[in-house]
Structure 1
């Protein structure tokens, strides 16, 4: 590595352009990571926050609440199992119209039983256990909604007051609102005494061994983990796939750029490489020196670009854009870029092995 570090110091201008390009790619990669994490959080943070392990849907619903209807008999099958806690969960998207006038609100409405463990906040549970009302996530509070405001949801003329705020998060990019299961049933089915729900929230006792598959066969349901249910959020799969493809193409482009630069650099150093071989240096030594040089350059530029990108994400995150800094995703993005750069530099190794020591005789 002696020659590599020395050449980096003496030829700083030669490597400055590549360093800037790699740093800009790192900035873009970090911003994309922030956007990807932000989109995921904006799509499923409310579902992720629910204190459950699994969700049981109607067969064929594919983790989509709007495609699933659970009957009391299906719910009773799970509630009869001692090792789990099972509670009905209603979910639908609603357009909330303020009774006093003003802008409408998009809402992911969750209907839960007042005594359910789905809403950990005791005050929030108490708020929906009385007269029909709404407990909204703090995102609505930031939009200017106040306790006591009246809203009509969907086509219903039922006016629901805002009775409090809690951490609810979002689902399908819409802030969550909680209401009692009977109120949700009245809004959804037109009858508060209807006994249907969208899904069953399940929490398995620690250390318990429960055969959920057998329960599914008995109840004719499809039980999946909470993480698997994320795919049912509108746009979740398409968004994550798109962002992953963009980041993959970015890594491929980065590897090609670094590979092309290293190839040109190797051509320019042909006589120097021949001289090193004439002095006894092996192909392996020269290859390790060159790849090590690229690794140092790519690592330094990536770290600098990642820090700049993280700063930009932090600034943008103060606005309405769905971006979020995640240390794990940023570190993974940076390491992936470094690995892609090192792999790209390997394309020039074949040219190094083809240089003959005799070419040094033609050196000026």
Structure 2
């Protein structure tokens, strides 16, 4: 370790370039992990707050709430906890701001309602609770909301914690309000029934209904899998690029030091010792580059606008940091093989 660190200190520019590249790669890797996590949260955070086991939909709805219509009486009372959910897309405006949102028809005391952070729950028709995403976009308590597709107006009476669904902000109201905006809904019809029952698979349902585990339901959200797959591929490629870059740089440096390794071997240094020196150098520069990249990522996260969907997870950052160091060490194996092949007599001349 001493020999490895001493050489890094004596060749600051050479090793500084490698560290600089690692800083950029690790910074991009950490930021992409935060972006992937943020986009996942945007799609599913409202669903996760249900803490539900399954959702019942029409079998022909392709696991999509908006395309499902079922009779309440076909499900009513079959499970431990049930909550009716109706959904419609709306474009709301308070006169200053205009936003695409989803309007959910739920019972005010059901487990589908997220926690309130201000105001109160809806008590009358045409009252809504908005998730705080809309508050961050300029909507306020008491705002009268006009709808592009209906003559009805809504009043914001409360704000809840963030509960986005499929990347859209959500408004919560009662079933009667939903019926006014979309006459398709009535007291007998609903889009879906969300259930809390660990034995939900044992219950029999009508032939036209299907129960879907919440995890499968989330995976079926439009664009969810494609988005996550794309970002995960980018993260994997960054790991590969990191290993390749480190491997190439260290290989070139090793070739430049062929005569030095020959002298060291002639003096009695073993292949194992020299291999440990190369691994130690790789570990040091990978550790420095990764730590600097992590610090820059956290600084960026502190100043990034709320509109950017980035959410950093401490465990993910640590695991990715360790992974980056490990793939860097893997990339140095080519240099170790080169060191083992050095012939002291030929290297010295």
Identify which of 69, 88, 95 aligns with 2:91: 95
Alpha-carbon offset, residue 302 of structure 1: 0.7
The change in CA–CA distance for 1:67 and 1:37 in structure 2 (over 3 A counts) is same
Alpha-carbon offset, residue 22 of structure 1: 0.7
The change in CA–CA distance for 1:310 and 1:125 in structure 2 (over 3 A counts) is closer
TM (norm. structure 1) is: 0.86
The change in CA–CA distance for 1:121 and 1:172 in structure 2 (over 3 A counts) is closer
1:246 aligned partner = 234
Q: How does 1:1-364 map to 2 (within 5 A)?
A: 1-59=1-59, 61-76=61-76, 79-81=77-79, 84-98=80-94, 101-119=95-113, 121=115, 127-188=121-182, 190-191=183-184, 193-204=186-197, 210=199, 212-215=200-203, 220-316=208-304, 318-362=305-349
Where does structure 1 differ by over 4 angstroms across 4 or more consecutive aligned residues? 120-126, 216-220
The change in CA–CA distance for 1:186 and 1:215 in structure 2 (over 3 A counts) is farther
Contact kept in structure 2, 1:65 and 1:92, CA below 8 Å: no
Distance 2:116 2:243 in 1: 53
Distance 2:301 2:111 in 1: 35
How big is each residue's C-alpha offset from its partner over 1:224-259, in whole Å with a ceiling of 9 and x where there is no partner?
Answer: 333333224333222212211222222211111111
Contact kept in structure 2, 1:171 and 1:233, CA below 8 Å: no
Unaligned stretches of 5+ residues in structure 1? none
Contact kept in structure 1, 2:122 and 2:158, CA below 8 Å: no
The change in CA–CA distance for 1:288 and 1:57 in structure 2 (over 3 A counts) is farther
Distance 1:14 1:8 in 2: 8
Alpha-carbon offset, residue 273 of structure 1: 1.8
The change in CA–CA distance for 1:223 and 1:192 in structure 2 (over 3 A counts) is closer
Aligned-pair Cα RMSD in Å: 2.6
Distance 1:238 1:290 in 2: 40
SS of alignment partner, residue 35 of structure 2: helix
Question: How many residues are treated as equivalent by the alignment?
Answer: 349
Unaligned stretches of 5+ residues in structure 2? none
